[in-house]
Amino acid sequence: MMKKISFLAISLCLLFSISGCKTEINFAIPGHPLLFSDEPEYSKTDYPIVLVHGLYGFDDIFGLQYFYQIPTVLRNGGAEVYIAEVSGTTKPEQRGEQLIKQLDEFAAISGKPKFNLFGHSLGAPTIRYVAATRPDLVASVTSVAGANFGSDVADAKALDIPPVALIIGLMGNVLGHVIDIVSQNNFEQNILDTLESMSTEGIVEFNGKYPDGLPSAPCGTDGDEVVINAISNEPIRYYSWGGNAQTTNKLDPLDLLHAVVTKAIDGDDDDGIVPRCSMQLGHVIRDDYKMNHLDHMNWFLGLKAKDAPYPPALYRAQANRLKTLGL
């Protein structure tokens, strides 16, 4: 019954979006205790938390959050949380410049000079770029299922065929603009730039420019947790976690996407989009959660593997870790 009501709510929001429906969709695991935390300062970091989305990301669409339930859980623990909005499809450097402008705005609002940045997927290289170029704005970097060593999807041979690349570019950019329209944004979209930057060749170039926190090789765990930034001469802490499951819940319609992508790229040790060996950065909290790529943002609507952790709890635990460190 709860699902029927909730899907009806989503449908009504879609139907009447022109009138500005902003109802927050929040029904999967509705009674999870972390949504009603009795520890009001558990995740109260000194510096605000900024959540940075990945490919085709957004803040919320008709009340449905990209980081589903995660801001609520963090705020219930005392955290000051901001949701960044950057281009869904372009290079990490361009997304990073867009993020820097927003961080300057957030700093003016919060009165805090630095932020704890959490980046999901393409959001990880994005926040790494910001930490490298504007370290004065960054206290810590947390990569969540981050494509720190690229993605096999970007190396697909089909992209070398001009007509195929043209179609992918057209369709991918249209999707980006549609998401922008419904999320009330207006960013430049370039999916081919994204794929180029996440290819083996592209990520090697990116990592050569912005190596802070990276292990010596993919799948490594020797990345520095604390890096003294060359520009600011101040420390920035680096963390990461991820998973390596593709299908995690039979009721999740998005699991099919992960299964198809994994099969298409002949992968197995990945989360359906990003290889496990691409996720490591700084202190690796864990890289083998029973979670797929979208589970890390608590999609779809909180559906997950039975024995997997509640995704917002991972963000909450990381916030507490940062709080303990005075960040």
Q: What is the pLDDT of residues 81-98, one digit of tens each?
A: 999 999 999 999 999 999
**Which amino acid is residue 68, in one-letter code?**
Y
Joined tokens for residue 65: 């959050």
Query: Per the domain annotation, does 27 fall within a domain?
Result: no
Residue 61's CATH number: 3.40.50.1820
270 found inside a domain = yes
Can you give the pLDDT at residue 57? 92
155 is an active site residue = no
Q: Which of 278, 293, 295, 296 is catalytic?
A: 293
Share of the chain above pLDDT 70, in %: 87
Q: What is the pTM of this model?
A: 0.88
**Residue 95 CA: distances (Å) to CA of 69, 141, 174:** 24, 16, 18
Annotated catalytic residue: which of 121, 151, 183, 197? 121
CA distance 312 to 9: 23
Catalytic residue among 60, 255, 270, 271: 271
Total domains, the chain: 1
- Closest by CA to 39, choosing from 76, 93, 2, is 76
Beta strand segments in 137-234, E = 138-144, 226-228
Measure Cα distances from 158 to 29, 154, 240 in Å.
Answer: 40, 10, 31
Residue 49 belongs to what domain range?
40-154+192-324
- Tell me, yes or no, whether 165 lies in a domain: no
Among 234, 46, 45, residue whose Cα is nearest residue 131: 234
Helix (H) or strand (E) holding 241: strand 235-243
Q: Is 121 a catalytic residue?
A: yes
CA 140 to CA 197: how far, in whole Å?
A: 23
Q: Note whether 294 and 300 are within 8 A (CB).
A: yes
4 within some domain: no
- Is 232 known to be catalytic? no
In a domain, 226, yes or no: yes
**Nearest CA-CA partner of 187 in 126, 112, 270:** 126
- Of 3-17, 90-104, 126-140, 293-307, least confident by mean pLDDT is 3-17
Q: Confirm whether 30 is domain-assigned.
A: no
Q: Which tens digits make up the pLDDT trace of 196-232?
A: 999 999 999 999 999 999 999 999 999 999 999 999 9
End-to-end CA distance of the chain: 43
Instruction: Give the list of residues 6+ apart from residue 108 with CB closer than 8 angstroms, or none.
Output: none
In a domain, 187, yes or no: no
Quick check: is 289 in a domain? yes
Q: Residues 221, 266: contact at Cβ < 8 Å? A: no
Confidence of residue 185 (pLDDT cuts 50, 70, 90): confident
